Chain A
Amino acid sequence: MNKDKKPLNQFQAGYAVFVRNRWAVFCLIVLGLLYTTAIFADFLSPYRYDNEDRSYSFCPPMKVHWKNEQGALSRPYVYATSFSFNEVHRRIYLEDKAQKFFIRLLPKGDSYRLLGVIPWDRHLFGVDSPGRLHLWGADSRGRDLFSRIFWGARISLSIGIIGVAISFVLGLLVGGMAGYYGGRVDNVLMRICEMFMMVPGFYLMLALRAAFPPHLNSFQVYLLIIVIFSFIGWASLARVIRGMSMSLKEREYVLAAKAMGLSDIRIIATHILPHTMSYSIIAIMLSIPGYIMGESALSLLGLGIQDPYASWGNLLSEAMGIVSIQLAPWILLPGFFIFLTVICFNVVGDALRDALDPTLKVEG
């Protein structure tokens, strides 16, 4: 064994272990890609989320052709689509080989603001009108599913991060304070915690949502959902942090800091909480899936993000009718994205746990 290696600190050692886990690295990359698509959704997708064309209702995924009629390679293209009705008056879509639409790079399309700031109207790829490009099919109103999934990523993925962030700040503060002060403060804070923990999360979510009018504007709904999740998630973290804080406050550097007259909040924030970092990071990673699924569940039930805005949850609500799935199985695609995201977070979270401290028992 290499006896002359310098001892690494916890995070450097953890990094080394983490990087060795190929699946974890792979999943981390996938997550990075997903978040990138969320940020650049407006550029990467051919259409805006609300760009609809009813004549393309439930249009199936279009086939992209790479070879022309003679069998030679050509620039990718799709045929125009026409529809007719079958015996049971359902639409069926056919390729109209008379018209070809080449897939263009950086065409002009719906205008938007890149990164929310720069006004632009070029998209990564698309077709000239009157052609439409539905790589992954269209929904009941003829809106491109590919685009809506990418736009939906914005909401679904961001709610996870922001909701978790607020929960954790709350949980860390409350837990840190309860453990540090002990006595009455601890008692009261922990009773409140228990109260929140006693209510089943789903019920609390519904009740909180119901407390507000059913029809809010979408931004308000977005904020509301974040607030709701923050309410649910902080309690269990607070309890664990409180335990850690209680044992940490007896450490020498804390006593030294007190002797130097540092304010309590400062001590908690700079001396105690950083030592709960390993646990917190792992817990964060493993909790995000819960938040993403929670938002999806709310939107699925119609209580979350509403039309025309897209979130993976409300995209799935179209799939709630069995008939729709039979007509248009591609409607299920957003669900697979949720699944993929959750898997990735779980893999990374598990790997982090192995890397930072395998003895920790962290609940997701």
Chain B
Amino acid sequence: MIKFIIRRIIVSLPLLLGISFMTFLLITVTPGNFFDTLKMDPRVSPDTIAHYEKLYHLDKPLLEQYLVWLKNILKFDLGYSFYYNTPVVDIMKVRLWNTFLLSISSLILTWALAIPLGIIMAVYRNRWIDKILSLGSFLCLSVPSFFFAILFLYAVSVVGGLPLGGMHSVHAQDLSWGQRFVDLLRHLLIPTVVISLGSIAALQRVMRGNLLDALGQQYILAARAKGLPENKVIFKHALRNAINPMITLLGYHFSGLLSGAALVEIICSWPGIGALMLTAVRAKDVYLVMANMMMGGVLLLLGNLLADILLAWADPRIRYEQR
């Protein structure tokens, strides 16, 4: 198992390298850079600009710049953000945590709702509840997330009760631990719901399909023939088999969240790495953009790795074959 993980990571390293180089080229080769705005500012002297350019090796050839950056990465120095005026690592840490928070809460909400709904749809197959949930899930899958975000924000602004953006209330510092937690939850609610909508819809369909497949199996007939009560048949025998293949989805779900959240973060003013990416890109803040891209790739990789590990762990048949 460990060997498997290490091998995967090693294989992905050249890919990450490729991504970083591609990003670097994109940002530096194309017209315009961060200092253009500074250059236009009459208050900033050419000497200052020259000093900064030297500091960040911007006067050296591109390849050298890239290699310098690469060397620093290995020292965990991700470069400096011109826009925020701090080392990239510091901003990324905070923003990464925020996005992580949002992703985890979306993951929890999605699975907590999709599993029961999917079960209901399978057990009451083709009755009116199944049809209504089916229609609902189709609509939720089709609605553009940004549109739903706007609508939801508008609805909340009319009805009230929830904050309309950001992560903390202004006076958060003055609150007790418990109150701060509640405050965080209230801010988390809208972006979480918006992000989760599509995934709940998709996952519940998978749950329904899997459970129906499982219920059609011979061992379910045998279980009924044994005289087991129906709820045991469904929840013990069928469900276990239905959920197994979905465990790997957890990993893919997680990796997809991190990039899918970006647009919603921006609209709901949630300070995560998605929102950061937009700012960095607008400001052509080279190192920040590159770090973000790399982070995106790494997270995707981790998510896929997690999915494969979960797959191997969940199914006893596969586990035994590997022995």
> Are A and B close enough to touch in the complex, i.e. CB under 8 Å?
yes
A-to-B contact residues, CB < 8 Å: 191-192, 194-195, 198-204, 206-214, 289, 293, 296-297, 300-301, 303, 316, 319-320, 322, 325-326, 329, 332, 335, 338-339, 342-343, 346
Judge whether A202 and B142 touch: CB under 8 Å.
no
Sample (6) of A-B pairs whose CB atoms are under 8 Å apart: A202-B260, A202-B263, A211-B30, A213-B31, A320-B150, A335-B151
Judge whether B154 and A203 touch: CB under 8 Å.
no
Apart from A207-B293, A316-B150, A343-B139, what 17 extra A-B contacts exist at CB < 8 Å?
A: A198-B19, A202-B274, A204-B293, A206-B277, A206-B278, A207-B23, A207-B281, A207-B289, A293-B146, A301-B266, A303-B282, A316-B147, A326-B158, A329-B154, A332-B147, A332-B150, A339-B147
- Report the minimal beta-carbon distance from A320 to chain B, rounded to whole angstroms: 7
Complex CA gap A335/B143 in Å reads 9
Given known A191-B15, A296-B146, contact A301–B278 (CB-CB < 8 A): yes
Residue of A nearest to B27 (CB): A211
A329 proximity list for chain B (CB < 8 A) = 154
Judge whether B26 and A200 touch: CB under 8 Å.
no
B72 proximity list for chain A (CB < 8 A) = none
Judge whether A335 and B144 touch: CB under 8 Å.
yes
Q: How large is the interface on B (under 10, 10 to 19, 20 to 34, 35 or more residues)?
A: 35 or more
Judge whether A200 and B27 touch: CB under 8 Å.
no
Most buried by B among A195, A210, A296: A210
Judge whether A195 and B15 touch: CB under 8 Å.
yes
B26 proximity list for chain A (CB < 8 A) = 207-208, 210-211
Question: Does chain A have a CB within 8 A of B306?
Answer: no
B278 proximity list for chain A (CB < 8 A) = 206, 301
Instruction: Mark each residue of chain B from 116 to 152: 1 if its CB lies under 8 Å from any CB of chain A, else 0.
Output: 0000000000000000000000110111101100110
Judge whether B150 and A214 touch: CB under 8 Å.
no
Complex CA gap A141/B59 in Å reads 46
Instruction: Mark each residue of chain B from 252 to 281: 1 if its CB lies under 8 Å from any CB of chain A, else 0.
Output: 000000111011001100000010011001
B146 proximity list for chain A (CB < 8 A) = 293, 296-297, 300, 316
Judge whether A322 and B147 touch: CB under 8 Å.
no
Judge whether A214 and B164 touch: CB under 8 Å.
no
Judge whether B142 and A199 touch: CB under 8 Å.
no
A297 proximity list for chain B (CB < 8 A) = 144, 146, 263
Complex CA gap A208/B19 in Å reads 13
Contact of B142 among A208, A303, A342 (CB under 8 A): A342
Closest 6 CB pairs of A and B: A200-B259, A210-B281, A335-B147, A211-B30, A211-B26, A200-B296
Interface residues of B in 97-130 (CB under 8 A from A): none
Judge whether B18 and A195 touch: CB under 8 Å.
yes
Given known A198-B19, A202-B259, A342-B142, contact A322–B154 (CB-CB < 8 A): yes
Residue of A nearest to B154 (CB): A325
A195 proximity list for chain B (CB < 8 A) = 15, 18-19, 22
Question: Does chain A have a CB within 8 A of B187?
Answer: no
Judge whether B153 and A322 touch: CB under 8 Å.
yes
Question: Does chain A have a CB within 8 A of B61?
Answer: no
Interface residues of B in 1-41 (CB under 8 A from A): 12, 14-16, 18-19, 22-23, 26-27, 29-32
- Report the minimal beta-carbon distance from B253 to chain A, rounded to whole angstroms: 14
Given known A316-B150, A322-B157, A325-B150, contact A199–B296 (CB-CB < 8 A): yes
Complex CA gap A194/B12 in Å reads 9
Complex CA gap A303/B262 in Å reads 15
